Amino acid sequence: MPWEKQFNVDEALGKAMEAFWAHGYEATSMQDLVDCMGINRGSLYATFGDKRSLFVQALRRYDAIHRHDWAAAISRSRSPRQAIVGIFEDAIAVVLNTGTRKGCLLVNTALELSPHDDEVSRIVEHSFSEMETFFSGKIEAGQAIGEIPDTVDPTETSRALLSLFIGLRVLARSRPEEALLRSIAHQADAMIA
């Protein structure tokens, strides 16, 4: 009779993602993962592989939920210009409303692991490229409806917006001051005015 999992795999992966997000890859031990996921070590290895494999799966999950799905939801509910500004405002709101200083798992990973792990670097690079594409696509859509001036260069501005967004996520961890974070959002707004 085949072995049957006694836990929800998706839920366990979500708990691992939260642990890595809160503490980083290096500072999260296998025992931390066993404890937070509520499964035994053997089940963890049998289902997810080693710590690095689990981290890659958690990082991909984070990217899907906290970058892709989030940006898609903002795109559906706001105009192109409002979507760009909304990405910044929503990220600030999470920090101010929850007091969390976890930042962004993708940005944290870019700083901690990307220089040393090619696969992780490709995941982060893809996510950042997708954010740049989000910004440039919104600029072009905003220009098509007259919401963003034609003088705004979509390529250069999307790269600058990406840099501002990454900076916002880093500062949200180290200096989560409302005035500082809002000044970044105002700068992003000014770039597309």
Number of independent structural domains in the chain: 1
What is the rounded average pLDDT of the residues 137-158? Answer: 98
- 111 has a pLDDT exceeding 80: yes
Predicted confidence at residue 188, as pLDDT, reads 98
Tell me, yes or no, whether 80 lies in a domain. yes
Tell me, yes or no, whether 5 lies in a domain. no
Residue 107 contacts residue 188 (beta carbons within 8 Å) = no
- Percentage of the chain lying above the pLDDT 90 cut: 93
Predicted confidence at residue 38, as pLDDT, reads 93
Looking up residue 129, the CATH number of its domain turns out to be 1.10.357.10
Tell me, yes or no, whether 98 lies in a domain. yes
Tell me, yes or no, whether 172 lies in a domain. yes
Q: Name the strand (E) or helix (H) holding 134.
A: helix 118-144
Tell me, yes or no, whether 185 lies in a domain. yes
Q: Which two tokens stand for residue 61?
A: 């999950």
Tell me, yes or no, whether 103 lies in a domain. yes
**pLDDT tens for residues 43-58?**
999 999 999 999 999 9
pTM of the full structure: 0.91
**Range of the structural domain that residue 145 is part of:** 59-191
Q: How high is the mean pLDDT of the chain?
A: 94
Predicted confidence at residue 5, as pLDDT, reads 63
**pLDDT tens for residues 21-75?**
999 999 999 999 999 999 999 999 999 999 999 999 999 999 999 999 999 999 9
Tell me, yes or no, whether 42 lies in a domain. no
Q: Which two tokens stand for residue 69?
A: 């799905």
**What is the number of other CB atoms lying within 10 angstroms of the CB of residue 58?**
25
CB proximity list for 171: less than 8 A, separation 6 or greater: 180, 181, 184
**What is the number of other CB atoms lying within 10 angstroms of the CB of residue 181?**
21
Q: Which residue has the tokens 């990082």?
A: 59
Predicted confidence at residue 1, as pLDDT, reads 42
Predicted confidence at residue 6, as pLDDT, reads 77
Nearest CA among 181, 105, 190, 124 for reference residue 132: 124
Residue 168 contacts residue 91 (beta carbons within 8 Å) = yes
Q: How far apart are CA 31 and CA 108, in angstroms?
A: 21
**What is the number of other CB atoms lying within 10 angstroms of the CB of residue 122?**
11
Q: Identity (one letter) of the amino acid at 69?
A: D
- 3 has a pLDDT exceeding 60: no
Predicted confidence at residue 4, as pLDDT, reads 55
Tell me, yes or no, whether 90 lies in a domain. yes
DSSP label at 67?
Answer: I
Residue 52: alpha-carbon gap to chain centroid: 19
Q: How far apart are CA 176 and CA 189, in angstroms?
A: 20
- 2 has a pLDDT exceeding 60: no
